[in-house]
Amino acid sequence: MASRDQNSKKNTNLLNPKNLPCNNSFLFLTLICFGSLYLLFSALKNSNKTIISSTGKHENLEFKPSSSSSTSSVCDYTKGSWIYDPNGITKRYDNTCKEIFKGWNCISSNKSNAYDIIKWRWQPNQCNLPQFDPVRFLKQFSNTNIGFVGDSLNRNMFVSLVCSLKQVSNEVKKWRPAGSDRGYTFLRYNLTVAYHRTNLLARYGRWSANENGGVLESLGYKEGFRVDVDVPEGTWAEAPSFHDILILNTGHWWWAPSKFDPIKSPMLFFEKGLPVIPPILPDLGLDMALNNMISYVERVMRPGGIKFFRTQSPRHFEGGDWDQGGSCQRSKPISEDKVEELFSLENNGTNVEARLVNQHLYRALKTSSFRILDITGLSEFRADAHPSYAGGKKHVDCMHWCLPGITDTWNDLLLAYLSDI
């Protein structure tokens, strides 16, 4: 009652004949004046709307509430810690997934902590990283093509996604779309996931001196690798026009002196078909290749396609590099202090290339429309999650990741970013 009284009092004041140009009988006045006020207000409202849409702000206004109410879009998933949470994690697949490369199947090869690796959950500081829901993923990305383009670490992430999805939907066609190394179509959902193998993104091949000479020959080069910084490798050149979502990476091979030996078989960079003179070192070659490959994707990507660049995956060699007796024998994630010791640029340790590569990536991506899938920081803690001696190779593997394992979390992150778009 009280509020009604207040309202009527207010109305009475508003409708005071002295304040309004309505001068007839009180009842008539009331009706007319309410009517004109209503018209006046709706006119104001409409004119507001018109102004907003004519200045082009209308759309912003309409979309703002939904995006600002989504707290996840402001959450930084990359800062956080690993929590030991054996019961909080639902198993998505196990060692029976046939896609797992033998050297990464730490359960089958009896790595002592193989079952423990996935009992750690990544907990961002400000929010939760939702756990991967394969059924939701299949539905959300039906009629979609997703391409992983990059080195074996991107294959590791691709395998994690395929195994997670196969667990709930096994009507799968295996094929090789658009030059890929391997791909799967989840038939019930028409979702295709493919892996395009490329180490440098840019095309490269063996180079040897020409008998007739040339500018590189005159500088004394005899053997090496020709890297065409402006030509995408054929394995993925078609990927941007085929896929709706792309996840690119490169990094490890630019710091791989065993293949690209700076003396015996150096990288020799070419642009527009001609050698880059004076010859440059791989770190500058990486910048040239990144700039060219990023603008290539922006030019040829499907309209509306979503482009991610994944940051560098850290290695965890301690006590020497892979060819100097280094190993990774930890059974738990390492502390923040240890992370800094292993990876800080100042310490310039064995695995320093992780953050070095990222410096190049961030610089090249700054002015691009790529989204950055930053997995480096959260992975730096996981010295326990590499195949180590269980990789079955001549050398200890402290570079790739056991599956199931850390690249499952990378896919959680991918899905969280995709859901925020």
Ligand X SMILES: *[C@@H]1O[C@H](CO)[C@@H](O)[C@H](O)[C@H]1NC(C)=O
Cβ closest to ligand X, residue 364 vs residue 390: 390
Q: Which stretch binds ligand X (CB under 6 A): 7-15, 142-150, 257-265, 285-293?
A: 142-150
Letters for 380-419 (x = contact with ligand X by CB under 6 A, - = none) are ----------------------------------------
Question: 17 or 392, CB closer to ligand X?
Answer: 392
Residue 261 CB, nearest distance to ligand X (Å)?
15
348: contact with ligand X by CB under 6 A: yes
Q: Please tell me the count of residues contacting ligand X according to CB under 6 A.
A: 8
CB of 315 to ligand X, least distance (A): 14
What tokens does 26 get? Answer: 């009180």
CB closer to ligand X, 121 vs 243 = 243
What distance, in Å, lies between the first and last C-alpha atoms of the chain? 48
Choice from 145, 152, 250, 351 touching ligand X (CB under 6 A): 145
User: Is the CB of 80 or the CB of 282 nearer to ligand X?
Assistant: 282
Q: Residue 122 CB, nearest distance to ligand X (Å)? A: 29
User: Rule CB under 6 A: is residue 110 a binding residue for ligand X?
Assistant: yes
> Which residues make beta-bridge pairs with 149?
196, 248
In whole angstroms, the minimum distance from the beta carbon of 344 to ligand X comes to: 12
Q: Which of the residues 220 through 259 are near ligand X (CB under 6 A)?
A: 244
How many other C-beta atoms are found inside a 10 Å radius of the C-beta of residue 122? 23
Tell me the per-residue interface mask from 184 to 203 with ligand X, x by CB under 6 A, - otherwise. ------x-------------
Task: Determine, following the binding rule CB under 6 A, whether residue 143 of this chain makes contact with ligand X.
Answer: yes
144 binds ligand X (CB under 6 A): yes
Q: Using CB under 6 A, which of the segments 140-148, 156-164, 211-219, 276-284 binds ligand X?
A: 140-148
Task: Give the range of 139-147, 356-364, 371-379, 394-402 binding ligand X by CB under 6 A.
Answer: 139-147
**Considering beta carbons, is residue 106 or 293 the nearer one to ligand X?**
106
3-state secondary structure the chain: CHHHHHHHHHHHHHCCCCCCCCCCCHHHHHHHHHHHHHHHHHHHHHHHHHHHHHCCCHHHHHHHHHHHHCHHHHCCCCCEEEEECCCCCCCCCCCCCCCCCHHHCCCCCCCCCCCCHHHEEEEECCCCCCCCCHHHHHHHCCCEEEEEEECHHHHHHHHHHHHHHHCCCCCEEEECHHHCCEEEEECCCCEEEEEEECCCCEEEEEEECCCCCCHHHHCCCCEEEEEEEEEECCCCCCHHHHCCEEEECCCHHHHCCCCCCCCCCCEEEEECCEECCCCCCHHHHHHHHHHHHHHHHHHHCCCCCEEEEECCCCCCCECCCCCCCCECCCCCCCCHHHHHHHHCCCCCCCCCHHHHHHHHHHHHHCCCCCEEECCHHHHHCCCCCCCEHHHCCCCCECCCCCCCCHHHHHHHHHHHHHHHC
Which lies closer to ligand X via its Cβ, residue 241 or residue 331? Answer: 241
- Our finding on whether 3 is near ligand X (CB under 6 A) is no
Only segment of 116-124, 138-146, 208-216, 408-416 that touches ligand X (CB under 6 A): 138-146
Closest approach of ligand X to the CB of residue 283, in Å: 11
Q: Is 109 in the site for ligand X (CB under 6 A)?
A: yes
Site residues for ligand X per CB under 6 A: 109-110, 143-145, 190, 244, 348
